[in-house]
């Protein structure tokens, strides 16, 4: 079961602190001739790199305007972008930068801040409810015949044993068939349904798989029950896995990559 990543590109802006900039000078008298803005801008975009760089700047600016953040200092924004892109030391660590951005956003968007806070509280309550249901499920499941409860809180049931003595390690690349469901039976991912097994490194998947699969032998098939803290925690994963979900997998270990 590979980790699921959100299908969008998130642009993170690191804010840097600098001395207060000088006051802007009064604008000079404008010429009566029309400004050749289009010609000037297009002549500087000579390569694909130029056009891409400019387009990214436009996208960032439009996103900032859409969030009512168009009154920020453009030169300091450029400084932050430049420091990161040129691998220079930034003036604020990620935690403080995030705190600054959130505080400024709330000042500029007080109504949205309250709405977001209410949404967050509602979401946290829903996650807590889902986690509680998962814990209840695991407690009942632990009583079933053949279910083994592990110290970390996950459970497994052997569906098919094998004569093989070969185990993968936590860093092995393995080939598996799997079928993943929520506790209510909702299927969120299945190589079985796709009819094609998948190969992946065990150190690139959720923690529960890293714990469970190395205990399996090649050719065996287990049913594995993972509490949310060994799956995706409080984070949602794709459209079918809400935050706090307990996950169930039927895993068949087909082979181990020897390379």
State how far the Cα of 232 lies from the Cα of 215, in Å rounded to an integer.
Answer: 21
User: Is 82 a residue whose pLDDT tops 70?
Assistant: yes
pLDDT at 22: 36
The CA–CA distances, whole Å, from 7 to 4, 81, 130, 225, 236 equal 9, 23, 24, 27, 13
The shares of helix, strand and coil residues in the chain, as percent rounded to the nearest 5, are 40, 20, 40
Name the catalytic one among 130, 156, 232, 248. Answer: 232
Terminal CA-CA length for the chain: 21
Report pLDDT for 259.
Answer: 63
Averaged pLDDT for residues 94-115: 74
| pLDDT for position 31 | 40
96 closest CA partner among 18, 17, 10, 19 = 17
Could you give the residue range(s) of every CATH 3.10.50.40 domain in the chain?
142-256
Residue 212: C-alpha distances to residues 1, 2, 162, 215, 231 (Å)? 12, 14, 16, 6, 12
Active site residue 232: yes
Report the distance separating Cα 161 and Cα 216, nearest Å. 9
Q: Note if 188 is an active site residue.
A: yes
Give residue-wise pLDDT tens across range 137-174: 999 999 999 999 999 999 999 999 999 999 999 999 99
What pLDDT does residue 118 have? 65
Q: CATH fold of 142-256, please? A: Chitinase A; domain 3 (3.10.50)
Provide the pLDDT for residue 84.
82
Stronger pLDDT, 103 or 175, i.e. the higher one:
175
Is residue 249 annotated as part of the catalytic site, yes or no?
Answer: yes
Q: Check if 119 is active-site.
A: no
More reliable by pLDDT, 259 or 210: 210
Say if residue 11's pLDDT is above 60. no
What does the pLDDT average to over 122-146?
95
Q: State pLDDT tens for residues 48-66.
A: 888 888 888 888 888 888 7
Which of 130, 156, 189, 225 is the catalytic position?
Answer: 189
pTM of the prediction?
Answer: 0.57
What is the average pLDDT across 7-13?
29
Q: Six-digit token pair at 63? A: 């996103």
pLDDT at 195 > cutoff 50: yes
Catalytic residue chosen out of the listed positions 248, 249, 251, 256: 249
Contact call for residues 253 and 219 (beta carbons, < 8 A): yes
Q: What is the pLDDT of residue 98?
A: 77
Indicate which residue of 178, 241, 248, 256 is catalytic.
178
Of these residues, 206, 248, 251, 256, which one is catalytic?
206
Quote the pLDDT of residue 144. Answer: 97
């Amino acid at each position: 079961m590979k980790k699921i990543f959100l299908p969008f590109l998130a642009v993170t802006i690191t804010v840097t602190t600098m001395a207060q900039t000088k006051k802007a000078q009064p604008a000079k008298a404008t010429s009566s001739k029309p400004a050749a803005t289009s010609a000037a801008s297009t002549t500087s975009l000579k390569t694909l790199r130029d056009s891409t760089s400019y387009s990214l700047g436009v996208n960032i600016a439009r996103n900032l305007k859409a969030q009512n953040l168009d009154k920020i200092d453009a030169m300091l924004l450029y400084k932050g972008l430049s420091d990161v892109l040129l691998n220079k030391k930034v003036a604020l660590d990620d935690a403080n930068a995030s705190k600054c951005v959130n505080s400024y956003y709330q000042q500029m968007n007080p109504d949205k801040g309250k709405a977001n806070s209410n949404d967050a509280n509602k979401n946290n309550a829903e996650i807590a409810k889902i986690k509680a249901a998962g814990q209840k499920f695991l407690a009942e499941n632990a009583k079933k015949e053949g279910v083994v409860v592990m110290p970390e809180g996950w459970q497994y049931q052997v569906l098919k044993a094998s004569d093989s003595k070969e185990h993968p390690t936590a860093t092995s690349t393995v080939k598996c068939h799997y079928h993943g469901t929520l506790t209510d039976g909702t299927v969120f991912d299945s190589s079985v349904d796709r009819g094609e097994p998948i190969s992946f490194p065990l150190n690139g998947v959720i923690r529960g798989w890293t714990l469970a699969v190395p205990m399996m032998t090649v050719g065996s098939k287990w049913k594995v029950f993972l509490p949310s803290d060994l799956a995706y925690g409080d984070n949602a994963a794709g459209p079918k896995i809400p935050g706090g979900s307990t996950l169930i997998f039927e895993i068949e270990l087909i082979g181990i990559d020897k390379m």
